[in-house]
Amino acid sequence: MHRSTTRALHCLLPAAALLLSLFCPLSAAADGWHARIPDDAGTPRRLVAVDKEDQKLHIYERHSPLKLAASYVCTTGQATGDKQTAGDLRTPEGIYFVVNKLSAGLDMEMYGGIAYTLNYPNPVDKLRRKTGSGIWIHSKGHDIVPRETKGCIALNRADIDKTGKLFVPGTPVAVAGDVSTDASPPKEDKATARKLEDKVKGWAKAWGSRSPAMFDYYDPDAYSAAQDESFAAFRTQKERLFKQLAWIQTSISDVQVMQGPGYWVTWFNQYYRAPNMTTEGIRRLYWQPDKKGEYRIVGMEWVPADVGMEANYLETVSPQVTAFVEKWRKAWERGDVKNYIACYAGDAEQAPRKGAASIRQQKQELWRKAKPAKVQLKGLRIEAVAGGVRADMTQDYRDVTGYSDRGVKTLLLRQDGQGWEIVKEEWSPAAR
Tens of pLDDT, residues 144-168: 999 999 999 999 999 999 999 999 9
CATH of domain 187-308: 3.10.450.50
Q: How far is CA 200 from the centre of its chain?
A: 11
Q: Does domain 311-429 have CATH number 3.10.450.50?
A: yes
Predicted pLDDT at 180: 84
Answer whether residue 38 shows pLDDT above 70.
no
Domain 34-180, what fold?
Answer: L,D-transpeptidase catalytic domain-like (2.40.440)
Domains 34-180 and 187-308 belong to one CATH topology: no
Residues in the chain: 432
Predicted pLDDT at 20: 37
CA distance 272 to 258: 24
What's the pLDDT band for 306 if we cut at 50, 70, 90? confident
What's the pLDDT band for 190 if we cut at 50, 70, 90? confident
Answer whether residue 387 shows pLDDT above 60.
yes
Catalytic pick among 2, 34, 58, 138:
138
First to last CA, the chain: 71
Contact indicator for 82, 186 with CB cutoff of 8 Å: no
Provide the percentage of residues in the chain whose pLDDT is more than 90. Answer: 73
Instruction: Look up 152 and say whether it is catalytic.
Output: yes
How much is the mean pLDDT over the chain?
Answer: 89
Residue 99 DSSP SS3? strand
Contact indicator for 28, 2 with CB cutoff of 8 Å: no
Where does 70-215 have alpha helices with state H?
Answer: 108-111, 123-127, 157-163, 187-208
User: What percent of the chain is helix, strand and coil (3-state, nearest 5)?
Assistant: 25, 40, 35
Predicted pLDDT at 36: 81
CA distance 289 to 295: 4
Q: Is 206 exposed, middle or buried (0-12, 13-18, 19+ CB in 10 A)?
A: middle
218 DSSP 8-state letter: B
CA distance 207 to 213: 8
**With left for phi above 0 and alpha for psi between -120 and 50, is residue 260 left, alpha or beta?**
beta
365 CB-side CA count, 13 A: 6
Closest Cα to residue 35, out of 173, 146, 142, 171?
173
Predicted pLDDT at 432: 60
Predicted pLDDT at 43: 64
**Which residues in 303-312 are b (16+ Cβ under 10 Å) and which e?**
bebebebbeb
Domain ranges in the chain? 34-180, 187-308, 311-429
Contact indicator for 279, 249 with CB cutoff of 8 Å: no
Catalytic pick among 11, 24, 74, 152:
152
Mean pLDDT of 346-368: 95
Q: Is 284 exposed, middle or buried (0-12, 13-18, 19+ CB in 10 A)?
A: buried
Mean pLDDT of 309-327: 89
Answer whether residue 4 shows pLDDT above 70.
no
117 DSSP 8-state letter: E
Cα torsion 157, 159, 164, 170 to 10°: value is -120
Predicted pLDDT at 418: 67
Taking only Cα atoms into account, the Rg of the chain, rounded to an integer number of angstroms, comes to 28
Answer whether residue 384 shows pLDDT above 90.
no
Closest Cα to residue 99, out of 134, 129, 73?
134
CA distance 74 to 57: 6
Out of 57-71, 129-143, 258-272, least confident range = 57-71
